[in-house]
Amino acid sequence: MNNAVIADKFEQLADLLELEGANAFRVRAYRNAARTIESLPEALETLVADDSRSLQDLPGIGKDLAEKIRVILETDELPQLAELKEKIPADVVRMLRIPGLGPKKVATLYRELKLTSLDKLKHAAEQGTIAEKKGFGNKTEQIILEGLDHLERSGVRMYLADAKPFVDGIAEELRKLKSVHQVAVAGSVRRLKETVGDFDLLVTAEDPAEAMDYLAEHAQVEKVLARGETKQRVRFKPLTPCITPDGNRMSMEMDLRVVPKESFGAALQYFTGSKEHNIVTRRMAKDRDLKLNEYGLFRGEEQLNAETEEEVYAALDLPWIPPELREDRREFEAIEAGGLPDLLELSDIRGDLHMHTTATDGTATIEEMIEGARERGLKYIAITDHSKRVMMANGLDADRLRAHWKEIQKIRKKYDDIEVLCGIECDILEDATMDLPDDVLAEAEWVIAVLHYGLKQPREKITERLLTAIRNPHVDIIGHPTGRLIGKRPGADVDYDTIFKAAADHGVMMEINAHPARVDLDDVRAAQAKDYGIPIVISTDAHSTGGFDKMVWGVYQARRAGLTKKDVANTKTAKQFLKMLK
Ligand code: DGT
Ligand code: CA
Ligand code: CA
């Protein structure tokens, strides 16, 4: 486990203790510990494993904190933190995300003014009751109202990778009900958007009540928020894992609609969205003297056949459009220009070119990773452990890297059904130099260049760093180009046109990192890279054999970018791919 994750748990614990009104000395101890841990040059895991050293030698880490660190390392959890999260209303924790409201102020709002929900907070700020409190004023009320507005607009969203299996599971359950004919997942989940604001489910059924009752009584459902004849909105119990930067579990809501069979296609088209796409389809309907809405497709009073989406699109003289492309970006343009792209499939992928082993921060050995890749039918992989700058992950210097490659070369001899490349994920340092010397990079069979540090540098500097890597003759690809972690850390400010132009000139590829929190490049940028003729590689960045299974989330992002098999380099056979590298 990463030191930053452990530090974050102590930071959260300090916040929640402060909300509870705990002793200031205790709160400060946890904050200091978080700072100490964050700035440690080595992984706590390594330190704990070393019997000759003790956690208590670290500044500010006493017996109690040392024990807590051990518990986190062993169980991934901190029981005190979990208990506090149960105790303090989730909305109060959310108040901490309002810029300008620190834990001290939130503690006063919660404990003295008894503002236990965002609604109550908003009401109080509007009524001016907060300004009367000592230490607060009109300015704070303004900050609160603006902050709440921001929270509302940014909303809570969930990674597609967490949302999709969950919603698909609910859909599967509904499919088993006697009166239910068809069940379809709609909305952003169907469009395979990287994050999801809520779930949308569409059902045709003889008896709408059965599906609605089933959902209302579902073990995962916390509350029915609204119910009509044919639609219902429910809130699920807080789901985990989730996307919020503070690591809290969160509640997702679902719209369920029951529609008649004759309008299923029209309703599915409507509720799949996006809103932008639907504005165009509605206008196209109007141009043809038709009316298209959630209830069906109409000419005057007459209801036309709209059982399927194909019929709806055909009425607009359009082919069926894959949901991933329905964003009014270029799907309509593409149809005009000759046709929609034949989107990439997961089964087209033959290689995985970004992964880690126990040499750095992976949990599987070289051999285990190779076996895992073979089990999944991969024909070629590149082992790309970290370079030395990533101290936290035990990054490799030149000597260790060369020894690691020797080991890979020895092990790969045993396999004749998979190609294994000696690679490296090399950091591009803050001063725009590479973390490893050229003569070392020259020996690599696959070099991924990445930004990990200094992501907040100004655009010019970031772009200069990426250009250095692109112009380096040994660099094959830029990995997770922006370094973003969705919902947790914004990506670097990149001048894409400059970068893509240089990459195209120098024959450097671009990665779509398939990790659900990254999916970086994103859909818009991957489409732009394709326009520049840059080959895309979709990689899992696996840190264990299970990590290989994340490929699908990268493939989905590629589909939203309109990428075909031909646009993605790791769809090539091993032979073709190796030839391309030369
Ligand atoms: P989300 O939930 O924020 O991840 O994104 P969506 O696209 O799932 O949005 P949602 O759940 O609000 O609505 C689902 C679809 O229903 C949306 O993509 C298009 C359609 N829809 C919802 N509200 C409206 C609306 O006011 N106008 C139009 N034209 N379509 C709407
Ligand atoms: Ca939705
Ligand atoms: Ca919705």
Eight-class DSSP state of 570? G
pLDDT at 155: 60
For residue 253, the CA-to-ligand 2 centroid distance in Å is 9
For residue 401, the CA-to-ligand 3 centroid distance in Å is 50
Mean pLDDT of 51-67: 88
**CB atoms near residue 241 (< 10 Å):** 14
Task: Provide the mean pLDDT of the chain.
Answer: 92
pLDDT digits (tens, 9 = 90+) for 118-170: 989 999 999 999 998 888 888 899 889 988 876 765 567 889 998 999 999 99
Residue 97: Cβ-neighbour burial (10 angstroms; 0-12, 13-18, 19+): middle
Q: Is the CB of 233 under 6 A from ligand 1?
A: no
CA distance 112 to 90: 17
Mean pLDDT of 388-417: 95
Residues in Cβ contact with 411 at an 8 Å cutoff, skipping those fewer than 6 apart:
366, 367, 370, 420
For residue 186, the CA-to-ligand 1 centroid distance in Å is 9
Listed range (132-141, 320-329, 423-432, 539-548) with the worst mean pLDDT: 132-141
Q: Among 200, 231, 284, 326, which is best to mutate for testing ligand 1, by the most ligand atoms less than 8 A from CB?
A: 200
Q: Among 152, 160, 185, 188, which is best to mutate for testing ligand 1, by the most ligand atoms less than 8 A from CB?
A: 188
CATH fold group of domain 155-258 = Beta Polymerase; domain 2 (3.30.460)
For residue 357, the CA-to-ligand 2 centroid distance in Å is 38
Q: Are 204 and 182 in contact (CB under 8 A)?
A: yes
Q: Could you tell me the pLDDT band of residue 478, with boundaries at 50, 70 and 90?
A: very high
Mean pLDDT of 519-538: 97
Residue 579 has pLDDT above 70, yes or no: yes
Q: Could you tell me the pLDDT band of residue 251, with boundaries at 50, 70 and 90?
A: confident
The partner residues of 221 in beta bridges, in order of sequence, read 236
Q: Is the CB of 194 under 6 A from ligand 1?
A: no
Which candidate, 276, 581, 266, places its Cα nearest to that of 445? 581
Amino acid (one-letter) located at 35: R
For residue 199, the CA-to-ligand 1 centroid distance in Å is 10
Q: Could you tell me the pLDDT band of residue 239, with boundaries at 50, 70 and 90?
A: confident
Overall size of the chain counted in residues: 582
For residue 226, the CA-to-ligand 1 centroid distance in Å is 17
Class of domain 346-581 as given by CATH = alpha beta
**Residues forming CATH 3.30.210.10 domain(s) in the chain:** 274-340
Q: Is the CB of 8 under 6 A from ligand 1?
A: no
pLDDT at 240: 58
Which candidate, 420, 389, 390, places its Cα nearest to that of 405? 420
pLDDT digits (tens, 9 = 90+) for 74-121: 888 899 998 998 899 988 988 887 877 888 899 999 999 999 999 899
| CATH superfamily, with its number, for domain 274-340 | DNA polymerase, thumb domain (3.30.210.10)
DSSP of 187-227: HHHHTT-SEESSEEEEEEES-HHHHHHHHHT-TTEEEEEEE
**Residues forming CATH 3.20.20.140 domain(s) in the chain:** 346-581
Helix axes 160-175, 551-560, angle to 10 degrees: 90
Q: Is the CB of 341 under 6 A from ligand 1?
A: no
Amino acid (one-letter) located at 377: G
Q: Is the CB of 196 under 6 A from ligand 1?
A: yes
pLDDT at 472: 98
What is the number of the ligand closest to the CA of 196?
A: 1
Residues lining ion ligand 2 (Cβ < 5 A) are 187-188, 198, 200
Residue 367 has pLDDT above 80, yes or no: yes
Of 533 and 250, the structure prediction assigns the larger pLDDT to 533
For the CA of 187, the closest atom of ligand 1 is 8
pLDDT at 86: 87
CA distance 453 to 464: 14
**Residues forming CATH 1.10.150.110 domain(s) in the chain:** 3-153
Which candidate, 234, 232, 308, 298, places its Cα nearest to that of 267? 308
pLDDT at 245: 47
For residue 273, the CA-to-ligand 1 centroid distance in Å is 6
The CATH number of 3-153 is 1.10.150.110
Report the side by side order of strands in the sheet with 199-205: 180-186, 199-205, 253-258, 231-236, 221-227
What is the number of the ligand closest to the CA of 275?
A: 1
pLDDT digits (tens, 9 = 90+) for 26-41: 999 999 998 888 777 7
Mean pLDDT of 9-19: 92
Eight-class DSSP state of 89? -
